[in-house]
Chain A
Amino acid sequence: MGLLGIALFFVSMQAFAQSADWEVVFRNLASRDLKVSEGARNLAFQKLIPALEAAPPSPALDKDIAAIAGMFGSKDQETRLQASGLLFGLSMRRADGETALRSAIPVLLSQFEDSNPRVRGNAIASIANLRPGIPKAAVPALIRVARSSDKRASDGALYGLARLSHSAPEAANEVLSALSSDSNPDRQRVALRSIGHAQTSHPDVILGIAPILRSQDASLAREAVTTVTMLGARADALRPELDRLARSMSDRELAALAAAAIKALDRR
């Protein structure tokens, strides 16, 4: 092998090397010796995370992400929590998370069933917040969790489904089902907030808000008006309902909120 060959070998080794031994990093982050954990936090927050956020999608980044996701195999809950917290942060921070975290997505989906509720919640939130979009392959797992009794997990999954509703009919149906769950107003509230935050534009989902605007539960109706305000022009189909509420003499607070929502409909 000539000098050029040796140089190329080292360049390619560098390109495919992990940036850190993540098992050691997570173990130190979780140390009960505050000096050790402080050193690990400095390393993670000042060097490793900025590097992971700045790295373009590449085999080298895939290797790091796969190594981090590989820590979900640990029996130690704290190690899994550290790994899930890092992937959640990257999902929130990277505008290209869907691509950058691709090597972790199958593992994140499998962690929806993790025995630790925080690891579970982080895995669901990591998927639900992926940008620019969530892979459609996540829909069945999100629906399963959205129907579970684990509230934090269910709330996160519903948000993911609201974001998917424009591209996956099953996701839209699940959100509609949550909107119409009259016996569970808390679930209706979570669905409304998810629709608002997700900026959903699916016409059926938008129309699914109308019955809640007519709800006898004033706080629920207010929540629905707030969602319409968040949606702005996307919710224009609800204008007649808002006009009716804005003229209401029985609930002046709701009427004022509805008037503000009508202004939001006119924002382009």
Chain B
Amino acid sequence: MHVAPDSGSYFPYSKYNYLGQTRRYDAATALAPDGVTLYEDTVLGDCFKLHATAYAPLTNMFIDVAGNATTRSVQAYFHGGAANPLAPPGAEINWDVWVGLSKAVPTAPAYEVSWAHDCVPAFEVYIGKQRIYGYTSTGYHPLNNIWYCLGGLGRIISGSPSTGPII
């Protein structure tokens, strides 16, 4: 997303909105001996190595932007859900992230960020290359707890916004 702080405009579906491809592999033939590498082939639907690919729809993903020229600030609200296009309907990753940028002090631009998102997967928020929020889904929710997290149980909700300077 590109934001012009004093105009409130942005370009929807810019490259930052693009989704990665969801891929399903055959467990018996796709996993390399190192337990990490996945083998791929070009024939889909054959239960061999790479089996299926798809993209989650963008229809439930939104960015709302509002700017205020007087206060020299802009607020962006990222929200939505991403369903696994290769799984039965039901669960999806959901997020609500509010990012505020302010140039009230022109020489000291600042941000504030708050969030409510599922406890799986990992989430990160960047301003340019500056990471202003990060969450890694480890510890109390190993693989067998994914369904609970995707149902919204124990979702991560911020209290007061996290703030800091834009570097």
Would you call B45 and A84 a contact (CB within 8 A)?
Answer: no
Asked whether A41 lies within 8 Å of B89 as measured between CB atoms, the reply is no
Contact with B along A123-146 (1 / 0, CB 8 A): 011001100000000000000000
Q: How large is the interface on A (under 10, 10 to 19, 20 to 34, 35 or more residues)?
A: 35 or more
Cβ-defined contact, A156 with B45, below 8 A:
no
Inter-chain contacts of A159 with B (CB < 8 A): 88-90
B141 at the interface (CB under 8 A from A): yes
Asked whether any CB of chain A lies closer than 8 Å to the CB of B156, the reply is: yes
Q: Please measure, in the bound complex, the distance between the C-alpha atom of A87 and the C-alpha atom of B147, giving whole angstroms.
A: 10
Judged by a CB distance under 8 angstroms, whether A181 is at the interface is no
**Contact A88 to B90, CB < 8 A, known contacts A46-B140, A229-B45, A256-B43:** yes
Rounded to whole Å, the gap between the CB of A2 and the closest CB of chain B is: 45
Please name the residue on chain B nearest to A155 by beta carbon: B89
> Helix, strand, loop or mixed for chain A's interface?
helix
Q: Which of A31, A93, A125 contacts B90 (CB 8 A)?
A: A125
Interface string of A31-45 (1 = CB under 8 A from B): 111100100111011
Interchain CB contact under 8 A, B154 and A84: no
Inter-chain CA distance A229–B52, complex, in Å, is: 11
Q: Which residues of B contact A49 (CB under 8 A)?
A: 145, 148
> Which residue on B lies nearest to A198, using beta carbons?
B88
Q: Is A45's CB under 8 angstroms from B145's CB?
A: yes
What are the residues of chain B within 8 A of A263 when measuring CB–CB?
Answer: 46
| B84-101 near A? 1/0 per residue, CB < 8 Å | 000111111010000000
Q: Closest CB of chain A to B135's CB: distance in Å? A: 10
Residues of B close to A264: CB separation below 8 A: 45-47
Given contacts A82-B153, A93-B144, A125 and B159 within 8 Å (CB-CB): no
B60 CB contacts on chain A under 8 angstroms: 152
A-side residues, CB < 8 A to B, are 29-34, 37, 40-42, 44-46, 49, 81-82, 84-89, 92-93, 118, 121-122, 124-125, 128-129, 151-152, 155-156, 158-159, 190, 193-194, 197-198, 225-226, 229, 256-257, 260-261, 263-264, 267
With A81-B155, A124-B90, A125-B90 given, name 20 new contacts (CB 8 A): A30-B155, A32-B159, A41-B140, A45-B140, A45-B154, A81-B152, A82-B153, A85-B148, A85-B151, A85-B154, A87-B151, A88-B90, A89-B145, A129-B88, A129-B90, A151-B59, A152-B81, A156-B89, A194-B88, A260-B45
